[in-house]
A and B are shown apart, each in its own frame.
Chain A
Amino acid sequence: MVCMEIARAGKRLTARDAGLVACRRCARVWPMGQARCGRCGSHLESRDARSLQKVWAWWIAGVIAYIPANLYPMLKTNTLVSHTENTIIGGAVELAHHGSFGVAAIILIASVLIPVGKFLAIAFLAIGARRGSSVPPRTRTHMFEIVEFIGRWSMIDVFVVAILSSLVQLSVVASIQPGPAAMTFALSVICTMLSAQAFDPRLIWDAVRRQQPRKTS
């Protein structure tokens, strides 16, 4: 079930082609030039010209914060007999060494695979929006949806640190403290989420429509 297409002289139209500006929040269209959506109050822009600049600014901040997040300890564990400091990867290795492969995999996926994958995906989308890409635009739109959906799951490790540091406070027997990486890791996740939110996915389709103006499906 699809809505009725809007076309002029056999060519499918975008809101911009029709002289309209679309609201990205509520999908309502308005005459070109209107500044705010009369339905939901969002700021309207036919194409957010500064979208890519914002994407790269948050992206760089996210990458910079991600470096110390991997170098410094995430958790400091004190027990009667030992004092250990674990980085993100160190913690996962430790878990695997104790046989918890499933949880080690969750940590590695949430804290390494997802953040790094997101950095690469956002960079790919931003470059493709400017220069075009051989990857079909529909695939790139899905990629953007996945990046938007998955970003928050990287916060797992920060929450684990929060739970452990409040729970494991057993005087001298065992205590856990958060390390500086918890802070920079959280900042990195926030910056990457903002970077993805700044991306205007309509740019993906504009580049394609410029290359193939007659394309109808």
Chain B
Amino acid sequence: MTTETLARTTPEEAAIEDLIACPHCDALYLAQMPAKGGRAVCSHCHTVLIAPRTKAGKKMIALTLTVMILVVAALFFPFLDINAGGIGNSTSILDAASSFRSGYMVFLSFLVAAAIIFVPLLRTVLILYVLIPVVRDRPALPHARRAFRLSQELKPWAMAEVFAIGCAVALVKVQDLAHIGFGPAFWMFSALVILVLINDNFLCTWSVWKSLELEND
């Protein structure tokens, strides 16, 4: 892909709010919204800068709501059950998160609970709070920018999908120790993981920032 033929402009000619700098290599561009479904890519390092999708906001909200309902529902149903030598046990996601009971291991319980429950839930709440007014063409709610920034900062620490793979590994590990069955929460959680993965692909953060820019809060 050659960019030599593209028209160029000097920084003095462009308004500062129309500029965009690649977060990975600092190359400066005049931001132009690509067609829906298209992408604007940094020509130096190939980082995707802008990637708007058709009806992205509405799809995001629908998916995010579903994620929230699934996380809450998954908390209250048994997740996995086990049977060996006539003795059975079933565990919920909350049990798994609080399984490190003794002494300093309690720290690990907090960590697991945060990574698979609190952070994913908080992110869905924050994203809904920011996106619902944007999609309905209403002014942003108070502190919407702070909320969106927090949702982006938390992204690497939401690990629901990693936990789901962990479940699959755990099942195989105890296969010769006991018989394991899936509870309803397990299937909810599997659906949730797929939704989380789709969801993250929908959100063009630059487009959201652009729409928040017009607001005063």
Kindly state whether residue B197 has any CB partner on chain A within 8 Å.
no
Kindly state whether residue A65 has any CB partner on chain B within 8 Å.
no
Q: Which residue of B lies closest to A165 (CB)?
A: B99
Known: A103-B173, A142-B46. Contact between A16 and B26, CB under 8 A?
yes
The stretch that binds B, out of A4-12, A55-63, A115-123, A126-134, is: A4-12
**Complex contacts, A193 vs chain B, CB 8 Å:** 156
Kindly state whether residue B45 has any CB partner on chain A within 8 Å.
yes
Kindly state whether residue B19 has any CB partner on chain A within 8 Å.
yes
Q: Is the CB of A205 within 8 A of B105?
A: no
Q: Which residue of B lies closest to A155 (CB)?
A: B162
Per the bound structure, the CA–CA distance linking A30 and B112 in Å amounts to: 39
Q: Is the CB of A159 within 8 A of B116?
A: yes
Per the bound structure, the CA–CA distance linking A153 and B166 in Å amounts to: 10
Kindly state whether residue A20 has any CB partner on chain B within 8 Å.
yes
**Complex contacts, B61 vs chain A, CB 8 Å:** none
Known: A156-B169, A160-B166, A163-B167. Contact between A2 and B174, CB under 8 A?
no
Residue in contact with B3 in the complex, picked from A5, A13, A158, CB distance below 8 Å: A5
Q: Is the CB of A5 within 8 A of B162?
A: no
Q: Which residue of B lies closest to A185 (CB)?
A: B108
Kindly state whether residue B24 has any CB partner on chain A within 8 Å.
yes
Kindly state whether residue A22 has any CB partner on chain B within 8 Å.
yes
Known: A7-B8, A20-B28. Contact between A2 and B99, CB under 8 A?
no
Interface of A is mostly: mixed
The stretch that binds A, out of B67-75, B85-93, B121-129, B131-139, is: B85-93
Known: A162-B99, A163-B91, A163-B166. Contact between A4 and B7, CB under 8 A?
yes
For A, the interface residue count at a CB cutoff of 8 angstroms equals: 83
- Residue interface bits B93-129, CB-to-A below 8 A is 1, else 0: 0011111100011011101100110000000000000
A148, A165, A166 pick with most chain B CB within 10 angstroms: A166
For B, the interface residue count at a CB cutoff of 8 angstroms equals: 93
Interface of B is mostly: mixed
- Residue interface bits A22-59, CB-to-B below 8 A is 1, else 0: 11111111110000000111100000000000000000
Residue in contact with A144 in the complex, picked from B24, B159, B178, CB distance below 8 Å: B24
Kindly state whether residue B54 has any CB partner on chain A within 8 Å.
no
Per the bound structure, the CA–CA distance linking A133 and B26 in Å amounts to: 19
Q: How far is the CB of B1 from chain A (nearest CB, A)?
A: 7
Known: A13-B28, A178-B108. Contact between A170 and B85, CB under 8 A?
yes
Q: Which residue of A lies closest to B149 (CB)?
A: A40
Residue in contact with A40 in the complex, picked from B17, B108, B209, CB distance below 8 Å: B209
Residue in contact with B22 in the complex, picked from A27, A98, A144, A174, CB distance below 8 Å: A27
Kindly state whether residue B152 has any CB partner on chain A within 8 Å.
yes
Q: How far is the CB of B5 from chain A (nearest CB, A)?
A: 11
Kindly state whether residue B62 has any CB partner on chain A within 8 Å.
no
**Complex contacts, B175 vs chain A, CB 8 Å:** 100
**Complex contacts, B25 vs chain A, CB 8 Å:** 14, 137, 141, 201-202, 204-205
Q: How far is the CB of A180 from chain B (nearest CB, A)?
A: 8
**Complex contacts, A13 vs chain B, CB 8 Å:** 11, 27-28
Q: How far is the CB of A54 from chain B (nearest CB, A)?
A: 16
Q: Which residues B154-213 have CB closer than 8 A to chain A?
A: 156-157, 159, 162-163, 165-170, 172-178, 180, 205-206, 209, 212-213
3 closest A-B pairs by CB: A159-B166, A22-B21, A3-B29
Interfacial residues, chain A to chain B (CB-CB below 8 A):
1-8, 12-20, 22-31, 39-42, 77, 79-80, 91, 95, 98, 100, 103, 106-107, 137-138, 141-142, 144-145, 148, 151-153, 155-160, 162-171, 173-174, 176, 178, 182-183, 186, 190, 193, 197, 201-202, 204-206, 217
Can you spell out 26 A-B residue pairs with CB atoms less than 8 angstroms apart? A1-B35, A2-B1, A3-B29, A16-B26, A22-B28, A23-B21, A27-B49, A39-B145, A40-B145, A40-B209, A41-B145, A95-B172, A151-B156, A152-B162, A158-B166, A159-B163, A164-B170, A166-B95, A167-B95, A168-B174, A169-B89, A176-B174, A183-B107, A183-B108, A201-B25, A202-B25
